[in-house]
Structure 1
Amino acid sequence: MFKNISLLLLLSSTIFIKSQEKIPFRLTKHNNIIVKTLVNGKDSLDLMFQIAMEDASISPDRTRKADHILFKNEISDGNTVKIGTKEYKNIRFFDNELTGHEADGKIGTGIFNGKAFKIDYDNHQFVVYDTMPDLEGYSSTPLFFNDGQFFIAADNIIDNQQQEVYFLLQSGYSGGILYSNEFADGKQLDQKLKVSGEKILKNSAGQSVITKQGILPFLKLDNIILKDVSAGFFAGDLKTQKVNYFGADLLRRFNWIFDADRNRVYIQKSKYFNAPYYKII
């Protein structure tokens, strides 16, 4: 009888292990996640994981060849992407999209469709689950999924006033927060945040694009508080930033588990939680 129980426990343990898929990644000094891939069995590419998209893309500045991705009107369908021992089929690539440092292109969240997945910054890996894992030690917050993008709400404390703000999770932006023009202008961030750096650029029409880096005193995500957060915003003539970014420097400070339905995300502090903030300027 005891032998049978031991055998059942061993089998259940084996099934649990098989229900998880681990994908290693490399974290760059710019906080970008790089995944090694083999596309269409021919092209070895380093792709940056972009949480703000579902499909994939190729950069015009890539250093590796992508000769076996065939584009029509800058779109290529029906591709295979092999990561480790796992091959993903029917992946759509877009052509000529800029990406992060050290990457030939981008790969999005579509490879995790229908599955719960974890971004494990502690161990530099993704974990894909058939069923939700043990969530002990994790906090949770609602996840808003729209057009292939993830949004979360967090409380910003500016000038001793608390303001709930919706952020797009954006792993392609190396910094912390990047505020939309609407929020930055409406809350007069130029006056209320301590500005730590500034850069003035000109576009082809001669318009000024002023990027500023400020310091947000407190950011509260569920019951976790971050202090003196790096927060950027645009000023000047040109208004281009439509949404608020929760950038890669903040993403890396947590381990993230996304449920299969994309209704909630579970977070715990990672080993990078107290690391110095990334400097954009």
Structure 2
Amino acid sequence: MLKKTGLLLLFSAGFLSTKAQQTIPFRITKYNNIIVKTVVNKKDSLDLMFQIAMKDGAISPERKRKADHIIFNKEEISENNTVDIGKLSFKDILFTDNQLTGPEADGKIGTGLFEGKAFTIDYDNNQFVIFDKMPDLKGFQPIQTIYDQDAFYVVGDNVIDGHRQEEGHFVLQSGYSGGILYSNPFAEEKDLNKKLKITGEKTLKDSKGRSLVTKQAVLPFFKLGDMVFKNISIAFFAGEIKTQNVSYLGADMLRRFIWVFDADRKTAYIKPSKYYSEPYYKIN
């Protein structure tokens, strides 16, 4: 059985390599963020966090490395930049200045690297693979995606109270380290504060004294496609500040699958990665 499985894996890897046009290596931080090593405008060596919920790039004010060769205008926009990753070179990349990013990153880079192409986020081998044509999808299951304003939306089923499934739309958000973060409207409508087991709470106040309460809780069941997760760690906001208008499917959930996105961004294909059964990440 082990020999047969090994042969299948070798055959699958070999088949994918014949279809693959380009590969981009990455590393995963302890915060579940994807970091890509880049050289911008042939001069600035920057570690950029991959952000699936944006198309372009951004530079952080808290960066550790210099970005002296990215020239910004008065609107803090820089156009027509080149980004080199290994032997690959990408042109006409736009950067925005002064956007915060995840730990260990000097900025962010989005899905503009894959413009007009199908691509894979391969968490098993720590790489993106860019295709001219769709690869072999044996073992993957399709899930519908809505691509709107540079972000991917997927539908997940949430079992909050008993066995009733509550459908929700989630933005794929690789910059959020946790698994699921619910929007304020969803949390209030479904009364998550009373219906879920609360495991943690943190309160912050703004300059006007208004409170932002982050609550950690346990969701009995979550379903994406045909795959069901039990007792999943989730978060939502409470208090007077209500700015979270969309729900996130964060990096802790993204890493549990290998993802293939088609070129027209209407369908994603998923199958379990090596992280599928890892313990859930808990936001401090």
Q: TM-score, normalised by structure 1?
A: 0.94
Deviation at residue 50 of structure 1 after TM alignment: 0.1
* Paired residues of 2:16 and 2:136 also in contact (CA < 8 A): no
Alpha-carbon distance in structure 2 between the residues aligned to 1:103 and 1:19: 27
2:177 corresponds in structure 1 to 174
Matched-pair identity in %: 61
Alpha-carbon distance in structure 1 between the residues aligned to 2:17 and 2:211: 56
The reply on whether 1:17 has 2:18 as its aligned counterpart is yes
Out of 134, 139, 146, the residue aligned to residue 137 of structure 1 is 139
SS in structure 2 opposite 1:69?
coil
1:230 corresponds in structure 2 to 233
2:269 corresponds in structure 1 to 266
**Superposed CA offset, 1:244-280 (max 9, x none):** 0000000000000000110100000010011111110
1:147 corresponds in structure 2 to 149
Out of 186, 211, 214, the residue aligned to residue 214 of structure 2 is 211
Q: Call closer, same or farther: CA 1:231–1:48 in 2, change over 3 Å.
A: same
RMSD of aligned Cα (Å): 1.4
1:4 corresponds in structure 2 to none
Deviation at residue 20 of structure 1 after TM alignment: 2.4
**Superposed CA offset, 1:126-175 (max 9, x none):** 01111100100001110100011100001111112101100000000000
**Superposed CA offset, 1:102-134 (max 9, x none):** 000000001101100000001111011111001
- Where do 5+ consecutive residues of structure 1 fail to align? 1-12
Matched letter for residue 139 of structure 2: G
Alpha-carbon distance in structure 2 between the residues aligned to 1:237 and 1:270: 39
Out of 252, 255, 258, the residue aligned to residue 252 of structure 1 is 255
Alpha-carbon distance in structure 2 between the residues aligned to 1:149 and 1:181: 19
Alpha-carbon distance in structure 1 between the residues aligned to 2:108 and 2:18: 29
Q: TM-score, normalised by structure 2?
A: 0.93
2:104 corresponds in structure 1 to 102
Alpha-carbon distance in structure 2 between the residues aligned to 1:140 and 1:84: 31
Deviation at residue 205 of structure 1 after TM alignment: 1.2
Mapping for residues 53-64 of structure 1, pairs under 5 Å:
53-64=54-65
1:5 corresponds in structure 2 to none
Deviation at residue 204 of structure 1 after TM alignment: 1.3
Matched letter for residue 202 of structure 2: K
- Where do 5+ consecutive residues of structure 2 fail to align? 1-13
Deviation at residue 229 of structure 1 after TM alignment: 1.2
SS in structure 2 opposite 1:163?
strand
Residue-pair matches, total: 269
Matched letter for residue 138 of structure 1: F
**Where do 4+ consecutive residues of structure 1 move more than 2 Å?**
13-20
